[in-house]
Amino acid sequence: MDRFPVFLDLHNRQCLVVGGGKVAERKVDSLLKAGAVVTLIAPDITTEMGIITSGQNVQYHARPFVDSDIDGQFLVIAATNNPSVNAHIASLADARNMPVNVVDDASVGNFIIPSVVDRSPVTIAISTGGASPVLARQLRMKLETMIPPQCGELAGITEEYRDIVKKHLPEAQRKTFWEQALKGPFAELVYAGHVEDARRLLDEMLASYPNGQTMGEVYLVGAGPGDPDLLTFKALRLMQQADVMVYDRLVSKSILDMANQRAERIYVGKEKASHAVPQDQINDLLVKLAKQGKRVLRLKGGDPFIFGRGGEEIETLAENGVPFQVVPGITAASGCSSYAGIPLTHRDYAQSCTFATGHLKDGSIDLNWAQLSQPNQTVVFYMGLTGIEVISQQLQAFGRSGDTPAALVEQGTTRNQRVHIGTIATLPQLVKDSGVRAPTLTIVGEVVQLHSKLHWYEPQRHVIASEFSLDHPVAPVEV
């Protein structure tokens, strides 16, 4: 470790900044946020600097630096555009054992300013020791996306309860208590903005700890259409903290690999005429696992509320008093059409869009064909391969031209994506000739003709193994 990381208390401390440009702006702003009293020396300052310092704890002197400016300072930042002036300031400060930073030159000063993720009171500093400030900023941006904005509020509540927990629990139990609290529903309530509910839950946990059985929680998460990059930040966070994962057939292996590797995995996938676990048993399983105090990740392809049976599952959870969260995912219609270069709406071709299922709960395809056959709209059929002949016949029977463009998007958004273009009339033969297999989405409408112009995604077509494994091992399930 070349540099010793340290966090300084600058409240009411005298800090000197020499320089009035853009870099100095950032330094002054950071110092003021940390509670410092700033002396700013520069012949001229930017307009933004004037706004930052207006009415704040800043003494601005519109002139060049003189050696006496360093007297009485606790910390010094040299941010001029003159390297010799910066080096001179650094030598003066270093001779007096003052912390001094020279911007863009880690070799001259005696400390560097890291990139910071600020979730006060949680603060994360990232440094490359001056080797690559750009890399440090990129790492900071990644952390910004991973750490919820309410993390600081969570830390504040735990600080409030530290003495209370000390009084209630012996030292040997405190660490385990806080680990359970910060990984469970208490933390999730804070992240969701339900602070008072979170406090009540923490009180209940403390009153019953360690003998009481704490109720777990179910995370109903949409995994999107296949590309891992389409996951939401919240989905990824919940995936990585789950104790057990209950997942479907259409969740790609690359997404499964992003979940907590220590989590128990239970496969409950469905495909036509072959249900690994019936839906009512899945519902009961989620309740059972949550009542064991587990954080249950219910991971579904696409969006759980769009032909994903998510509504049925959370109905059961609500009836049994099990807390849950629903995290939307990019549904297949949106993801697959985007990756196929087929906009679902377009002012010149389609002013509305309808999603329809290729088969109903009883296995029929008894849909509102009159509505689905209306012009100037795009219709997207989920799970429609088996009934493709009925779809083709009924759309034409209710007035949609057989020449209307249609597309089959197979394994959309993955590296195995294939797009097959035809018309409503040729769809059945297109399915036979192409050998297309599920998961495949059917898109019907004039917008399909834009594929030839707008397709942008070029997946790797020759791969050893598919991202979708249709032969997931089925874990034993007791309901």
Enumerate the known binding-site residues for S-adenosyl-L-methionine: 225, 301-303, 306, 331-332, 383, 412
Lookup: tokens for 16: 């000197």
Lookup: tokens for 7: 């966090």
Stated length of the chain: 479
Q: Which of 243, 248, 294, 300 is catalytic?
A: 248
- What number of other Cβ atoms are within 10 A of residue 270's Cβ? 16
- H/E segment holding residue 357: strand 352-357
Q: Cα(39)–Cα(140) distance, rounded to whole angstroms?
A: 28
Q: Cα(233)–Cα(256) distance, rounded to whole angstroms?
A: 15
229 is catalytic: no
- Quick one: which of 76, 46, 34, 40 has its CA closest to 60? 40
Whether the ω angle into residue 439 lies within 30 degrees of 0, i.e. cis, is yes
Cβ pair 329, 299 in contact under 8 A:
no
Who's near 66: CB < 8 A, 6+ residues apart?
none
Binding residues: 22-23, 43-44, 225, 301-303, 306, 331-332, 383, 412
Who's near 153: CB < 8 A, 6+ residues apart?
190, 195
248 is catalytic: yes
Strand partners, 327: 221
Across 154-294, the runs of DSSP E, i.e. the strands, are 217-222, 244-247, 264-267, 270-271, 274-275
CB-count exposure of residue 468 (10 Å: 0-12, 13-18, 19+): buried
Lookup: tokens for 231: 């996951």
- Quick one: which of 322, 306, 244 has its CA closest to 314? 322
Q: Cα(241)–Cα(221) distance, rounded to whole angstroms?
A: 13
Strands 377-382, 352-357: pairing is parallel
- Quick one: which of 434, 442, 328 has its CA closest to 394? 442
Q: Which of 270, 284, 288, 291 is catalytic?
A: 270
What letter represents residue 473's amino acid? Answer: P
Whether the ω angle into residue 210 lies within 30 degrees of 0, i.e. cis, is yes
- H/E segment holding residue 444: strand 440-444
Residues acting as catalytic residues: 248, 270
